[in-house]
Amino acid sequence: MTERIRVQDLAKTFLGAKGEEIRAVDGVSFVCREGEVFGLLGLNGAGKTTTLRMLSTVLTPTAGTALVNGHDIASDPQAVRESIGFLSGTTGLYPRLTAEETLRFFGEFHGLEGDRLDSAVERVLETFGITKYRTQRCEKLSTGMKQKVNIGRAVVHDPPVLILDEPTSGLDVLAAATTLEFVESCRAEGKCVLFSTHIMSEVERLCDRVAIIHEGSVRASGTMAELRERTGQRYPEEVFRAVVGNVE
């Protein structure tokens, strides 16, 4: 299987509120392939979001390298962004744009025009069952419908790589289910999905392989079966605890 994401010793240091250095990510390495859902598993503040933001080129790494769909995140960020669909709990929608306008604008930002843009928008509206709500402003949509538009916004250009940062965070059961079904459909289409979460049931259901990240570095990686074998634990929560230790 073709490698879609290769991360090598990626690190990120921030300045804290008092000017002190905070090492959010400290030498993270992993590889994701096409047709695979790769889970980045960790507690809040473990460094998952910072890692994904570096891969989506929103943040600049302090050290290390990463290739996304063959493009270097530091030297060719625009090509990286053309190859990815990014969704997180914090990527909001423009409240005063309608669902269709949102898809059109982001399609245009990705270089779609004319018939290609029309058919891409129609495909997304149909796939996610939002045709009926196409002329409604995003601020008026239900949480579930908003999530569908947001997913549609991320995939309107049909990217080969999806980066999803805790995409079910804050969603109700139905909206979360839609998101998980969408991830499964992406795998079936042969896309590479990099998925961060701290919900073990999602890991069990979706991830082909996982990397457990803690305090900015990868503590263990492999399939869930491999991690069970390595830690001698049966349930994902126990596997996780065995890898990161008891954290207060």
Partner 1 sequence: MRLSAVRRVAQKEILESVRDRNFLVNVVFLPIFLFPLIGFGVMQVMQIQSGASSRDVAELGIDSGTPAAVEDSLRAAEQLRLVPPPSSFDGTPDGFRAWREAEGADALLRWTSGERDTARLWFDGSRERSERARDDVAAAVDEWRLDRERGELVAVGLSESDLEPFTIESEDLASARQRGQEILAAVLPLFLMMMLATGSYYAALDTVVGERERGTWETILVSPLARAEILVGKYVFVVASSLTSLVLNLLSMAIFLSFVLRMLGDDLSEKVQLTLPWSAGLIVVGVALVAALFYAALVMLLASTARTHREGQAVLGPVYLLSMLPGIVTAVSQDPFTMKQAVVPLLNVATLFKSVLGGEMPPGPILVTVAVLVAATLIVLRLASRAAARDDLFVGRQISLKELLKS
**Is 109 a residue that touches partner 1 (CB under 8 A)?**
yes
Binding mask 11-40 toward partner 1 (x if CB under 8 A, else -) reads ---xxxx----x-x----------------
- Of 28-36, 50-58, 190-198, 215-223, the window that binds partner 1 (rule: CB under 8 A) is 50-58
In angstroms, the CA 135 to CA 128 distance is: 15
Pick between residue 121 and residue 212 the one whose CB is nearest to partner 1: 121
How many CB atoms are closer than 10 A to CB 113? 9
CB of 245 to partner 1, least distance (A): 26
66 neighbors 31 (Cβ within 8 angstroms)? no
Q: How far is the CB of 1 from partner 1 (least distance, A)?
A: 25
Cα separation, 88 vs 150, in Å, equals: 9
Q: Which of 86, 128, 133, 195 binds partner 1 (CB under 8 A)?
A: 86
Which residues in 129-148 contact partner 1 (CB under 8 A)? Answer: 137
For partner 1, give the closer residue by CB, 81 or 214: 81
**Alpha-carbon distance values, 211 to 29, 74, 87, 207 (Å):** 9, 23, 19, 10
**Pick from 229, 220, 225, 230: nearest CA to 208:** 225
Phi and psi torsions of 66, nearest 5°: -155, 140
From candidates 6, 23, 110, 198, binder to partner 1 by CB under 8 A: 110
| Amino acid letter, 149 | V
Give which of 31, 26, 65 is closest to 46, Cα–Cα: 26
- Distance between CA 37 and CA 42 in Å, rounded? 16
Nearer of residues 170 and 204 to partner 1, judged by Cβ? 170
Provide the minimum distance between the beta carbon of 127 and partner 1 in the complex, in angstroms, as a whole number: 20
Q: Is 76 in the site for partner 1 (CB under 8 A)?
A: no
| Closer by beta carbon to partner 1, 14 or else 235 | 14
Q: Which stretch binds partner 1 (CB under 8 A): 2-10, 101-109, 210-218, 223-231?
A: 101-109
DSSP label at residue 136: S
Distance CA 115, CA 121 (A): 10
Per CB under 8 A, residues contacting partner 1 are 14-17, 22, 24, 53, 56-60, 78, 81-82, 84, 86, 88, 90-97, 101, 105-106, 108-111, 137, 153
